[in-house]
Structure 1
Amino acid sequence: MSFNPFVRALSLIGFAEFATQQGLNPVDMLRRAALPQQSLERHDGIIAFRRYCALLDICQRQSGNTLFGLQLGLFQGVNVFGELLYLIRNARTVAEALDELRDHYALYNGAAYIGLDIDGDTATLSYRVTELDLPGLPQAEELACAVGVQLLRALIGDSWRPEAILLRHPALQDEASYRQALGFLPSFSAHCSGFQFSTSALSLPLSTADTRLQQLIVEHMKRMERLSADDLASYVKVLLRHLLPSGRATVEKVADCMAYNTRTLQRRLSQEGTSFQQLLDETRQDMACHYLEDPFISMTQMSGLLGYSNQSGFCRAFNRWFQVTPLAWQKRNSPNQQPRLLRDSRLNTLHRRSEGDN
């Protein structure tokens, strides 16, 4: 299984509140880990897994709480799964729910994968990261195990507990601290990180199952970009969509968000047969066509959302892409949305005439 260095920013859900409870400034922690502040609000964005692990490592050191990752995972619980949770909850049995988790986990995390192995009467749900030499990885592994336990409790009942929690690394703190956090002691230096439970739990039915709703969710998730594919260009486009409105969509900023240096990013894009400028143009084109279908976005707003300092710059670029003006494109493709742009155009004409009279 190939390593992919990105995870959804959804992984940070609840982080700000928990970090604050630990006496930390969450924005400062993100800055120290070189993660953008908007990651706390834009959960559909992507962040470098290496930076995510570094964030957890920084937080445990700054707070003095060695079990920061474990406790954050217990705090986040099932919320960290986002829309995937609806798919999991609408499975018919626990086994099918875990299959959905395993099959769709790459939508949210390209740096790790979920395993479900059966050995006699024991099932092992594992969290495996391909690249093991990452500072802060033990924090991320403990967090994942805690989230997994919370998921099974949500499916089976609050009183459920695994037969064993497995952690690939040695204990990060004394046994009493782990017992206090989890209610029991994990097994350390194990062959993988995860937990074991009786296979009898797999056949338990889920009372929340709704076959029709499950199919709708499956169709929606099919349209999401998987983070497991080795497609650097798609990740650059995701970042550009989030960075353009702030006017910071530079190759340096994108490379920094991906934990690459600029030359490495440009070289890798060249190897994929593209370039940063080409991806920037393609992203702006897609966004422009989408915005032109929205009657509530003005030309001035559209220009800003696409990272242009003025409307004329956007119009020149649009004409270069499509050999037509934005207004002409909208007349041809979205005739019902003309009034807004026509109004903008007329206002600009009146404004120019007014300036000429003066």
Structure 2
Amino acid sequence: MKSDRIKFPAGFWAGIQQVGIAPQDVAHKARLPLTILTEPAVVTTAQYFRIWQAYSDLVGDTASGIIKLATTFETAQYPPAVQATYHARDYRDALNRMARYKQLCPPESLRIAEEGERCTIELEWMGSEQPGPPVLVGATLAFLLELGRRGTGQPLPALAVEFSHSMGDAATLEAYFGCPIQIGATNNRLTLHRSDLDCPFLSYNKELLEILTPVLDRSLDEQRSRSIAEMVKWILKRSLSSSRLDIRAVASALRMSDRTLQRRLTDEGTTFKQLLTQARHEQAREYLADPTLDIKEVAFLIGYEDQNSFYRAFRLWEGDTPSNWRSEYLGANQPS
């Protein structure tokens, strides 16, 4: 399971600068403080999506924004998890590492399947009911092909590419991927020639992998061993607007009985009710920080059927009304 706290890669800002987009313009448009450009940043999924949408809005055509970022980004700017894929033994090893280490980074998740002469890579979203902005979807799939091209030193074409939403100029994308592009598909999917996965990587670095792999695997294990309370809150946050907020449904998602879950939470010094309150409080703050959501919508998103119940709960949490809290928050977080 993924946390809603995403370590934002510092190399992204250098990458968009190379494309000709000013990082401060992206931060401003995404309604984030400029400190995100200079300090190690941890963002929520919503903020992460806003950054990508801001880049898309500034770059103009989505397709050219996708290709520019995939091809211009220098390998040296990749975070360690991506470095491990670039220095893999072959394209198959690189893709499998990418799918594994994606769990450490943003909310994207990759599902790889090899069958016959095809290898399909499907993009899914973990911990978010909303799909990512089209430019993020396109850049993710373009980067997977770019990884193979850079690693093998060959202009590998894709077999097929499917997108659920419009991606701007389709001809630009078809020229890059080397195959037809399907828009309006059920899933976002890149299909490769399976034989290309056997191509060795010229950038293979056994010594570097021996250093990076244990560190990344350890980080992955640590992330997976988060407390039961954290995992319960993670599930609750993604179910607040639905009716399935009882302990039995959450226990089922964790593959344990509700009695076992209650015992585990007691051992960690908390209760299901306390975690539900915390989940609602934290999500309320996040949603209120987004001025595009009206307060009635925020109330519904965190599981309140009527606005008055939400107002009473929020006053208990913050000692203020949701509208006053939003005004103060937005005023204090205006980009300079």
TM interval, short-chain normalised: 0.5 to 0.7
Query: Counterpart of 1:187 in 2: which secondary structure?
Result: strand
The separation in 2 between residues aligned to 1:104 and 1:78, in whole angstroms, is 17
TM-score (norm 1): 0.55
Aligned match of 1:201: 196
Query: Counterpart of 1:92 in 2: which secondary structure?
Result: coil
The separation in 1 between residues aligned to 2:205 and 2:58, in whole angstroms, is 45
Aligned match of 1:15: 13
The separation in 1 between residues aligned to 2:68 and 2:203, in whole angstroms, is 27
Alignment of 1:31 onto 2:28: yes
Aligned match of 1:214: 209
Aligned match of 1:276: none
Query: Counterpart of 2:57 in 1: which secondary structure?
Result: helix
1:15 Cα deviation from its structure 2 partner: 3.4
Alignment of 1:40 onto 2:37: yes
The separation in 2 between residues aligned to 1:200 and 1:180, in whole angstroms, is 21
1:34 Cα deviation from its structure 2 partner: 2.7
Partner AA of 2:47 in structure 1: R
Deviations 1:211-254 (A, max 9, x none): 443222122224436667767979xxxxxxxxxxxxxxxxxxxx
Query: Counterpart of 1:224 in 2: which secondary structure?
Result: helix
Deviations 1:70-95 (A, max 9, x none): 53233326556421234224433322
Distance 1:75 1:8, change over 3 A: farther
Q: Give 1 or 2 for the bigger CA radius of gyration.
A: 1
The separation in 2 between residues aligned to 1:87 and 1:77, in whole angstroms, is 15
Aligned match of 2:102: 105
Alignment of 1:123 onto 2:119: yes
Aligned match of 2:153: 157
1:260 Cα deviation from its structure 2 partner: 5.5
- CA contact under 8 A between 1:89 and 1:97: conserved in structure 2? yes
Identity %: 16
The separation in 2 between residues aligned to 1:116 and 1:65, in whole angstroms, is 29
| Correspondences of 1:335-354 after superposition (within 5 Å) | none
Partner AA of 1:151 in structure 2: L
Query: Counterpart of 1:154 in 2: which secondary structure?
Result: helix
Distance 1:48 1:151, change over 3 A: same
Aligned match of 1:320: none
Deviations 1:197-218 (A, max 9, x none): 1211222333444444322212
1:145 Cα deviation from its structure 2 partner: 1.1
The separation in 1 between residues aligned to 2:83 and 2:29, in whole angstroms, is 34
1:54 Cα deviation from its structure 2 partner: 1.8
The separation in 1 between residues aligned to 2:42 and 2:91, in whole angstroms, is 29
* C-alpha RMSD over aligned residues: 3.9
1:152 Cα deviation from its structure 2 partner: 1.0
Partner AA of 1:213 in structure 2: L
Deviations 1:42-89 (A, max 9, x none): 45x322222222222233334433333453233326556421234224
- CA contact under 8 A between 2:153 and 2:202: conserved in structure 1? no
Aligned residues between the structures: 241
TM-score (norm 2): 0.58
- CA contact under 8 A between 1:166 and 1:190: conserved in structure 2? yes
Deviations 1:332-358 (A, max 9, x none): xxxxxxxxxxxxxxxxxxxxxxxxxxx
Query: Counterpart of 2:120 in 1: which secondary structure?
Result: strand
